[in-house]
Amino acid sequence: MTVAAREGRGLGPAFTRLWGAALGSNLSDGFAATAAPLLAASLTRDPVVISLVGVAQFLPWLLLGVPSGGVVDRFDRRRVAAVACGVRAVVAAVVCVLVATDHMAIAVLIAAVFVFGAFETMADGSVQAMVPSIVGRDGEGGDGVGGDGVGGRLVRANSRIQATEVVAQNFVAAPLAGVLFAVAAALPFVLHSAGYVLAAVLALMLPRSAARPPRGAEEPKEKVTRRSLAEGFRFLAGHPVLRRLWTVSILLALFNALAQAVFVLYVLDLLGVPTAVYGAFAMAAAVGALLGAVVAPRLVRRFGRGPVMVASVLLTGTSYALCGFVPHAAAAGAGMLLVGAGVATWNIVSVTVRQELVPSRLLGRVHGAWRTLGWGLIPVGTFIGGLLGSTDLRLPFIVGGMGIAIAGLVVRRSLLVLPDGD
């Protein structure tokens, strides 16, 4: 086997470092995703108040998604990611101290979660913008290596990052956080902070090619102004493919947030799962998501992007509804496994389409605009889910699942005409 052949099958050492940074960040996100709701549940049992933790996590995307995209496109993307991870590491350390000294209050926790979300807007946008710069878009080279067509380098890179997110957050961080929280509530936040430190260090080790768009594609710094921040919205609204995909993503994010608004109370109170194994319960969704990440490239090659996306939406919606209609641990576990598979598959294909169709110089701003409405409305869905959960903890799953399935049926024609790449 030649050196070129071996390189063609790999994604390169630069991607390995980016992958490592994503691993550290996702480990931290996983500790927070499990420990923060458990900490909130130890401070209050009010479903509406607990839903505010989820609101605080995603509200920054509504408020800061577009400005963060401008930061990603203007400055060194490696440093943006490193600073964002560094700030979150410091805040996580503060939370650890407050919990250890028994000075934590629900309002402080909500504020801390808001800060995590605010800097996630920059870190997440930076990582997504750096992927095509490092591995190349499908049909072109990355690090001097040619692409390999539909389901090629970019799809494989996104699949690998998605799989890493699932494994890190759900197979490692979630069950470990649940056990550590049962031992001492502050322990998960120690590892929460350490993971961000690792991600910051690896981000700074990425090559200069990841810092900004390719030579000739970037705008001069002085042109990335308040006026130019709106270019992300204009590009999405004017692109016939991305406009349809954006609309679908907004609906799915809204109903998905509604379904998961009071997940911690659903598991602890309705299903009767002990606190120590709360994180392990989430592994059902992780197994499904890992499966989705592994098979997504194969499914895309065989059936095309549109049919795969339609199937993932319908699978997600009906699986959420199963959790609500059959509130038993076994049925809910099976439902969450299928939810994980559907969501992971959707994310991989959706991100790949966006990375292929958006010019490199606009990736940060388009990503910010996408998340501003896509994730910015998640707090609305989360709050509505909290209100429904205060009546019956099954209702968020039923309403959210049916909403996702109906949305998938309504927009299926728009999804089926999505291009399959070069």
* Residue 188 pLDDT > 80: yes
What pLDDT is attached to residue 113? 93
Measure the CA–CA gap between 273 and 264, rounded to whole angstroms: 10
Mean pLDDT computed over 225-241: 75
- Neighbouring-strand partners of residue 142: 145
Residue 54 domain-assigned (yes or no): yes
CATH number at residue 81: 1.20.1250.20
Number of domains in the chain: 1
Measure the CA–CA gap between 81 and 131, rounded to whole angstroms: 13
Q: What is the CA radius of gyration of the chain?
A: 20
Instruction: Give tens-digit pLDDT for 17-33.
Output: 888 898 888 889 888 88
Measure the CA–CA gap between 84 and 86, rounded to whole angstroms: 5
- Name the more confident of 320 and 211: 320
Measure the CA–CA gap between 292 and 165, rounded to whole angstroms: 12
Measure the CA–CA gap between 59 and 114, rounded to whole angstroms: 7
What pLDDT is attached to residue 124? 83
- Name the more confident of 400 and 209: 400
278 neighbors 178 (Cβ within 8 angstroms): yes
Residue 381 domain-assigned (yes or no): yes
Instruction: Give tens-digit pLDDT for 281-337.
Output: 667 787 888 888 888 888 888 888 888 999 999 999 999 998 899 888 888 888 888
Instruction: Give tens-digit pLDDT for 334-357.
Output: 888 899 899 889 888 888 888 788
Structure-token match 């970037």, residue found: 218
By residue range, what is the domain housing residue 303? 10-214+227-416
Instruction: Kindly state the tokens that stand for 282.
Output: 């989430």
Q: Decide: helix, strand or coil at residue 145.
A: strand
Measure the CA–CA gap between 289 and 342, rounded to whole angstroms: 7
Lowest mean pLDDT among 3-12, 81-90, 329-338: 3-12
Measure the CA–CA gap between 25 and 33, rounded to whole angstroms: 12
Measure the CA–CA gap between 416 and 294, rounded to whole angstroms: 22
Measure the CA–CA gap between 348 and 367, rounded to whole angstroms: 14
What pLDDT is attached to residue 209? 74
Residue 373 domain-assigned (yes or no): yes
Residue 220 domain-assigned (yes or no): no
The pLDDT mean for the chain works out to 81
Mean pLDDT computed over 54-76: 82
141-146: which pairs have CB atoms within 8 A and are 24 or more residues apart? 142/11, 142/12, 143/12, 143/14, 143/15, 143/209, 144/7, 145/7, 145/8, 145/12, 146/8
Measure the CA–CA gap between 255 and 401, rounded to whole angstroms: 7
Residue 327 domain-assigned (yes or no): yes
404 neighbors 256 (Cβ within 8 angstroms): yes
**Whole-Å CA distances, 309 to 15, 165, 266, 347, 397:** 26, 20, 28, 9, 21
Residue 15 domain-assigned (yes or no): yes
Structure-token match 């598991």, residue found: 267
What pLDDT is attached to residue 141? 43
Residue 189 domain-assigned (yes or no): yes
Residue 56 domain-assigned (yes or no): yes
What pLDDT is attached to residue 151? 43
Mean pLDDT computed over 241-268: 86
What pLDDT is attached to residue 222? 41
Instruction: Give tens-digit pLDDT for 107-152.
Output: 999 999 999 989 988 888 888 888 887 876 544 444 433 334 434 6
- Neighbouring-strand partners of residue 145: 142
